[in-house]
Amino acid sequence: MDLDLWVTAGAVLWGAAAGVLVPRAAYRLSVEPGQPWRDRCPDGHPIGGWVGPARCADGRPYGPGTALVCGATALVCAVLALATGTRPELLVWLLIAPVGVLLTIVDFRVQRLPDVLTLPLAALAPLLLGAAAALPEHAGRWPTALLGALVLGVGYFLLFLVNPNGMGFGDVKLAPGLGAVLGWYGLPTVVLGTFAGFLFGGLYGLALVLARRAGRRTAIPFGPFLIAGAFVGLLIGAYAA
């Protein structure tokens, strides 16, 4: 087995292990704005901490299905490893991937991107990429990662000012982290990932309208599509680098 296959296998194991920890956090964070994070399971048992399987005291699971979340996180990490290879920035992608899965679940459930996730992501993504830039054989550029964070953050903020109903402020807070990730491989990757996110969101909204499950003014969770678009842009950028 060559090194790339070992790396991919390790990424799968990491994704599966990290996915086990996502359902409890997703359940606790899936509350409406202004409400405290959940501290009890559906049966009323106290939840101790944020890390660990999502199971009640009597052993029954709660929150999103652990097997599905583990599989999705493992798949995301595997694809990232296949596209990136053994380059050092892969470590950054593997650390960020479970956060993206967690944000996607929460936003789909309650149309909310919690600050406790988006703000650390906005700060840590550039810092982690700065560390990757100091290692040999990296394929990106840290200055363009910083520029991507700035461009996407300012761009989404302006869109929010123009149309607050079309984009939530949580999306604005998510933008710098995604911009840094995409900007690592250059500004064209930022454009590609951003376009893909809006395309996915538009297609989803159109599908809901055609299925008569939503109207033109119905709010949809936009964060998952921004994340999906960034994922596609990142894969193409990593593969082409």
In the chain, where the domains are located: 3-240
Q: What is the residue whose two structure tokens read 């520029």?
A: 147
CA distance 60 to 186: 46
CA distance 202 to 197: 9
Which pLDDT score is estimated for 212?
75
Which pLDDT score is estimated for 215?
67
Tell whether the model's pLDDT for residue 1 goes beyond 70. no
Tell whether the model's pLDDT for residue 201 goes beyond 80. yes
Q: What is the residue whose two structure tokens read 């055609």?
A: 210
CA distance 227 to 131: 23
Tell whether the model's pLDDT for residue 198 goes beyond 60. yes
Cβ-in-10-Å burial (0-12, 13-18, 19+) of 155 comes to: middle
What's the CA angle centered on 109, arms 123 and 176, to 5 degrees? 20
